[in-house]
Amino acid sequence: MNKLQTGWLYTLTGAVSAVSLAACMPASKPYNIVYIMTDDHTAQMMSCYDNRYIETPNLDRIANDGVRFVNSFVANSLSGPSRACMFTGKHTCGNKFYDNTTCVFDGSQQTFPKILRENGYQTAVIGKWHLESLPTGFDYWEVVPGQGDYFNPDFITMNNDTVVRKGYITNLITDMSIDWMENRRNKEKPFCLFIHHKAIHRNWLPEIKNLALYEDKTFPLPDNFYDDYKGRPAAASQEMSIFKDMDLIYDLKMLKEGKDLSYIERMDADDRKAFDTFYAPIIEDFYKRDLKGKELAEWKYQRYMRDYAKVVKSLDDNVGRVLDYLKEKDMLDNTLVVYTSDQGFYMGEHGWFDKRFMYEESMHTPLIMHLPKGLDARGDITELVQNIDYGPTILDLAGISLPEDMHGISMLPLLKGEHPVNWRKALYYHFYEYPAEHMVKRHYGVRTERYKLIHFYNDIDVWELYDLKNDPAEMYNIYGQPGTEEVTAELKTTLLDLQQQYNDPVRFGPERDKE
C-alpha cells in the first residue's frame, strides 16, 4: 500500500463516516490543494473581513461557502521570512531565513511541498517566490525574480532562463496556473499548486482597464491616522509613514520630467499612453495645489487607498477565474482552496503603510478556505492559528504523518468543525530586519487571545503590553502600569516557554544569560 492509500484510510477512519465518504470520494482520489497567496493583502481590504472600503465578491465566495479564520497570524511579518515559515512549518529561528536583505533560503532543508512530493503528490509554484535561491521540491515552477514587475514581467523558468511574459502580472500568474492544472500536470496524481501573486505589493500599479475605478470614492481615515506614538518609542522611530515616507513619484505616480520612470518603462506603448492620459490631469492638479501638512497627508492617503483597491480588483477577478475553472472541471468537491497573504498591511492605521510590526494589522493575515467534501466546518474559526500551521494542515489532509521538528500544528480538526480543548493559547512572533528599509526595530513577543507582550531589542530595550479587549488599536502601552504585574509575569513565562520550545536563541532574562 502506498502512502497515499494509507492517507486515504486515515481520512476514512478519522472524521467522516464511511457512508458519506463513499458517496463523495472514491478511494483512489485524495484531496487536491490550490493554495493562493497574495503579497501584502490585508484583511481590511477584503469585504468578507471588513466592509468599510471595497467589495471583493470572489474572495467573499470562498469565505461565504467555506471558513473564515478571524485569529490568523504570521510568525514574522515580512515577505521572504513569512514564506520560509510557511513552506517549512517552522519559525524563523528554525528555517534561518531571517530577513529579505541578507538571507538566501537553504533549499536543501525540509519543506512540506517536498514531503508531499515524496508521498505521491505533484507540486507546483507559479508567481512570486522571493526566497533568493531557486525553488526546490516542486515538479513544476516558474517564478518572478525578486519582487517582480506588474507589466510585462520577467519570469525565471525551470531551465534557469529568464523570459518576458506579455501582460499584467496577476492575469499572467492565473493564466499559467490554470494552464498547469489543465495541460501540464499528470491528471492521475493528486496535486498541490501554489499560486503566488505579486499583487498587492508596493507600488500598487493597477491594470490599465481598472485605472478609473474608485476615483470618485473618498475613503474614511482610520481613527488613529494621526497617532502621536506616545509611550511607544519603536513606533515613533519607524519610516513607514504615509505622510513622510510614501514616495510621490514611485508610490503615487506623480511623475515629473527627469525623474526615474523605470517602473512604467516595461509597459507596452498603448498601455503607457492610457496610463499617461489618465494621470496627466491628476499630476497637474497635484503640483498646482502645492499641498502641505494634513492636506498633503490626506491626499496621499486617498491616492494610496485608490491604487491599492484597483490592484485588489484584478486579484479578486482572477481568484474568481480559478474558482470558476475548478467548478467547471467539477473539482471543487475534492479540492481544498486556501486564500491567504504573506502578511497583513497598514491602510493608514497609525498613519502607516507597510507591515513588519507585531501590531495587529500586520501580524494578522487573512485566511479563508473553500473546504472539500468531508470537511464540515463552516463560518468563522476563532482559534489562534499561524502560517507555520499551513504545512502541517496540508500534510495531515493528505494523510501524511507530520515531521516532529515542525513547529506548526495541523488545523485539520478545526476544518472538521472540532474545537480541541487543548488548542494552543499563545502565538510567538519574531521580526529581525533592522536596520533596514522602514527602520522597524527588532522585536519578539507573544500574543494570547486577549493580550500582547512585545520586547523591542538590539539598539533599544523597550517592553510593550496591550490589552486587546480594551485597546484593539494598540494605542496604550500599559507595560509597567500598576495592576499589570500578574499578567505581565504570566506572559513573560509563556514567552520564555515558547522561545525554549522553538529553540530561539534570542531570549531574555536568566536563560539568555546562560547562553
**CA angle, corner 68, sides to 64 and 73, nearest 5?**
155
Binding positions for Ca ion, rule: CB under 5 A: 39-40, 79, 342
Taking CA atoms, 489 is separated from 211, 279, 344, 483, 495, in Å, by: 52, 55, 29, 11, 10
Q: Which is nearer to Ca ion, 307 or 342 (CB)?
A: 342
Contact (CB, 8 A) for 446 and 494: yes
Best CA proximity match to 457, nearest among 495, 503, 426: 495
Nearest-approach distance from CB 478 to Ca ion, in angstroms: 30
**CA angle, corner 473, sides to 470 and 479, nearest 5?**
65
Q: Which is nearer to Ca ion, 79 or 88 (CB)?
A: 79
Q: Which is nearer to Ca ion, 95 or 410 (CB)?
A: 95
Q: Which is nearer to Ca ion, 39 or 142 (CB)?
A: 39
Nearest-approach distance from CB 312 to Ca ion, in angstroms: 14
Nearest-approach distance from CB 100 to Ca ion, in angstroms: 9
Amino acid (one-letter) located at 80 = G
Q: Which is nearer to Ca ion, 40 or 474 (CB)?
A: 40
Nearest-approach distance from CB 515 to Ca ion, in angstroms: 32
**CA angle, corner 395, sides to 363 and 135, nearest 5?**
70
Residue recorded with cell 544569560: 513
Best CA proximity match to 430, nearest among 405, 451, 447: 447
My answer on whether omega of the bond before 249 falls inside 30° of 0, hence cis, is no
Nearest-approach distance from CB 204 to Ca ion, in angstroms: 13
Task: Enumerate residues 6+ apart whose C-beta is below 8 A from 292.
Answer: none
Q: Which is nearer to Ca ion, 344 or 372 (CB)?
A: 344
Nearest-approach distance from CB 34 to Ca ion, in angstroms: 20
Q: Which is nearer to Ca ion, 201 or 303 (CB)?
A: 201
Residue nearest to Ca ion (CB): 79
Nearest-approach distance from CB 57 to Ca ion, in angstroms: 24
Side-chain-side CA neighbours of 400 within 13 Å: the count stands at: 24
